[in-house]
């Protein structure tokens, strides 16, 4: 009998789920919230805000994320600096907002979120966007250091990037009590 190999899309989805599960709970929550804000999946304020401070943060996130469709349209076709400027400047601003929220703790979590927010075509630009946003003075020095140390040399020196679109977009899941689950 021949072996059955996992399909590439299924294997990729499983890898993405495993990667998401490796993030801290706060990063997982922020990524799901951000995807709800970006794609109007749910009323993010009603679903995610636990207090008035968090509600204000989500309102600000909606304002920053209003720029995402324009940013997606500006992804450069080349690596020319002149082509990058209109794309990079607004994306660094949005990324600086997200890093300033204190929930994204690593380049890996940032890349996971931004591959979904902007698209696979943005992958070559994400290390530079992350480094620029993580270097901004609105972040405390220790936080800047932690974020910048999270990007590996291999990522910073990558000779190429996959164009495969992300398959897994995590969402809010209601908790179900163990005794109330249907059998």
Q: How many other CB atoms are there within 10 angstroms of residue 173's CB atom?
A: 7
Of 139, 151, 130, 126, which Cα lies nearest the Cα of 100? Answer: 139
- For residue range 13-68, list pLDDT tens digits in order: 899 999 999 999 999 999 999 999 999 998 999 999 999 999 999 999 999 999 99
Q: Kindly list the domain boundaries of the chain, sorted by start residue.
A: 13-165
Name the percent of the chain lying above pLDDT 90.
70
- For residue range 73-90, list pLDDT tens digits in order: 999 998 888 989 999 999
Of 147, 176, 173, which Cα lies nearest the Cα of 29? Answer: 173
The pLDDT of residue 178: 59
Largest Cα–Cα distance of the chain, in whole Å?
A: 61
- For residue range 125-166, list pLDDT tens digits in order: 999 999 999 999 999 999 999 999 999 988 877 777 788 888
Token code pair at residue 25: 């709970």
Of 85, 75, 88, 161, which Cα lies nearest the Cα of 128? Answer: 88
């Amino acid at each position: 009998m021949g072996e059955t190999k996992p399909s590439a899309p299924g294997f990729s989805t499983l890898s993405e789920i495993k990667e998401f599960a490796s993030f801290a709970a706060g990063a997982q929550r922020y990524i799901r919230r951000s995807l709800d804000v970006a794609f109007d999946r749910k009323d993010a304020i009603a679903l995610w805000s636990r207090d008035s401070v968090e509600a204000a943060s989500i309102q600000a996130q909606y304002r920053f994320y209003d720029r995402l469709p324009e940013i997606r349209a500006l992804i450069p076709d080349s690596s020319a600096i002149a082509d990058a400027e209109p794309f990079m400047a607004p994306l660094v601003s949005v990324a600086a907002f997200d890093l300033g929220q204190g929930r994204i703790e690593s380049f890996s979590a940032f890349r996971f979120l931004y591959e979904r927010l902007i698209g696979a075509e943005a992958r070559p630009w994400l290390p530079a966007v992350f480094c620029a946003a993580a270097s901004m003075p609105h972040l405390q020095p220790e936080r800047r250091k932690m974020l910048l140390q999270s990007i590996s040399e291999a990522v910073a020196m990558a000779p190429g990037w996959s164009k495969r679109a992300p398959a897994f977009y995590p969402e809010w899941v209601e908790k179900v009590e163990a005794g109330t689950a249907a059998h």
